Structure 1
Amino acid sequence: MAAPPTPVERLLLLADQYVGHNDTLDRLLRAGPQAEPDAHLASAQRLASATRTALKAVTDERLYESHALSDTVVRLQQLAFLSSASAEHRLPMARMLTALAPEAATGCADSVAREIRRRRWSATDAPDHELTATQHTALWEIACGHVVVTSSLGRHYVHFRGERVLIGTLRSLEANGLAERVPKSASSAYVGGPFQDRVRLTAAGTTALAAAISRPPTTTAPGTAPAPAAVKTATRSR
């Protein structure tokens, strides 16, 4: 029987649920009047429940109270409230209420990981996947919902927000089973444009990222906190 997810893994999984939820709402908004007005209701209710479950997992750790941990608990309570509230609104407002949820959930994962490793970390703990700095950064950006892929004339383009993610890094993550693309699941880059491929963490990618942020960094590790939003750019493969 597989072990239940750790609190850090659970928060990263929660972030992924929010990414998928927001992408679904974007597609429903694209459908316009044809979309069912309550099509997002069940998803929003599941998210509220998942957020409360993640919050319980954090509080069950019984970590020593700190300002960072208190802020994390409040942030998760806010996310649960916003998810519940989004179920009571029509699509445009519902989408706005959960817009920043993936970044908030990954930020909570980082805060909890810091609190746990400050008190309980053992040098014998080792992740299954040793990540390079660029892989670490890319996994973090993917968890935040910042990475999509498009293709044109046989070439693939990575669009990112925040830290740079290269196509070569993405391919290495995919080859190692740490990330995957969900075709045509993300909103278009411009009005009327084609849907983009969302890049999301696999179960192994979630475990690897959780292990990486749960271990003391030997140097300042990139991607352990959300970076300020930057203008969307792209890299391409030849």
Structure 2
Amino acid sequence: MTTPPNDGLLFDVAAPPTPVERLLLLADQYVQHNDTLDQLLRAGSPSDPAAHVASAQHLASATHAAIEAVSDARLFASHELADAMFRLQQLAFLSSASTDHELPMARTLTALAPTAAIGCADTVARELHRRRAHSTSAPDHRLTATHHTALREIALGNVVTTSSQGREYVHYRDERVLIGTLRSLEANGLTERVPDSAPSAYVDGPLQDRIRLTSIGVTALAAVISSPPASKGPGTAPAPAAAATKTGAARRL
């Protein structure tokens, strides 16, 4: 007798994230967590003093899951990888410890978590490539140096946008990110914006829009994060008229 087909096999099952993708997603979770804490601090005394606890506990679990994913890749225990694993363990500890503190200190304990997670993703990506212990996607050569830089800055939680009098502005922290670049990334489904979710640029100012990577953006950055940005091809240089702002020093588009 013929065994009826398993209906579950008729559908594609999404592949689990790679260790590098998992670390990029972890960085994004920390960015969201910190944004939430900033909003709670902005509101003054929250109705629930432990409002951040559940999120911090989730982050600690997510960090342990990322550690396990990297361990399962069975990479060579280089000094760089060992340091990355120590940093992840520290992140898990700090996230858990933040549940025992009130908001100001809790926010301090996770302040550098996105940067640490991205640094670990960079290290793991290099080790995966070097040891050939994991099959990775070929770098997306459609990403220019400008796109590569912008995706990394976004993953770090360094890019927000705001609008004023019908004009849009972008605020970045370290590497320059232009509004035209953001529009290109968003049009290609690599990024999205979350309105009114990021801290204001100045005291009592309006909340800003957080720019985040989509799942496609995470995959794209994971494929190239350990590689130097590609050279800018002809016509890929951003227009000089596009505006960006660094740490709140606004320029008009």
TM-score calculated relative to the size of structure 2: 0.85
CA distance change for structure 1 residues 59 and 233 in 2, over 3 Å: closer, same or farther? farther
- Secondary structure of 2:45's partner? helix
Q: Which residue of 2 aligns with 1:153?
A: 165
| Ranges in structure 2 where 5+ consecutive residues have no aligned partner | 1-12, 233-245
> What is the correspondence of 1:132-211 to structure 2 with a 5 Å cutoff?
132-211=144-223
128-137 vs 201-210, which moves further: 128-137
- Secondary structure of 1:183's partner? strand
Identity %: 71
* CA displacement at 1:141 relative to structure 2: 0.2
Q: Which amino acid aligns with 1:167?
A: I
* CA displacement at 1:53 relative to structure 2: 0.2
Q: Which residue of 1 aligns with 2:30?
A: 18
* CA displacement at 1:2 relative to structure 2: 0.5
CA distance change for structure 1 residues 220 and 67 in 2, over 3 Å: closer, same or farther? farther
User: Any conservation in 2 of the 1:160–1:233 contact (CA below 8 Å)?
Assistant: no
106-115 vs 31-40, which moves further: 31-40
Q: Which amino acid aligns with 2:186?
A: E
**Structure showing greater Rg:** 2
Q: Which amino acid aligns with 1:2?
A: A
CA distance change for structure 1 residues 97 and 187 in 2, over 3 Å: closer, same or farther? same
TM-score calculated relative to the size of structure 1: 0.90
In 1, Cα distance between equivalents of 2:85 and 2:91: 10
In 2, Cα distance between equivalents of 1:109 and 1:189: 28
Q: Which residue of 1 aligns with 2:45?
A: 33
1:111-149: CA deviation from partner (whole Å, max 9, x where unpaired): 000111111189994246731100000000000000000
CA distance change for structure 1 residues 173 and 121 in 2, over 3 Å: closer, same or farther? farther
In 1, Cα distance between equivalents of 2:26 and 2:122: 13
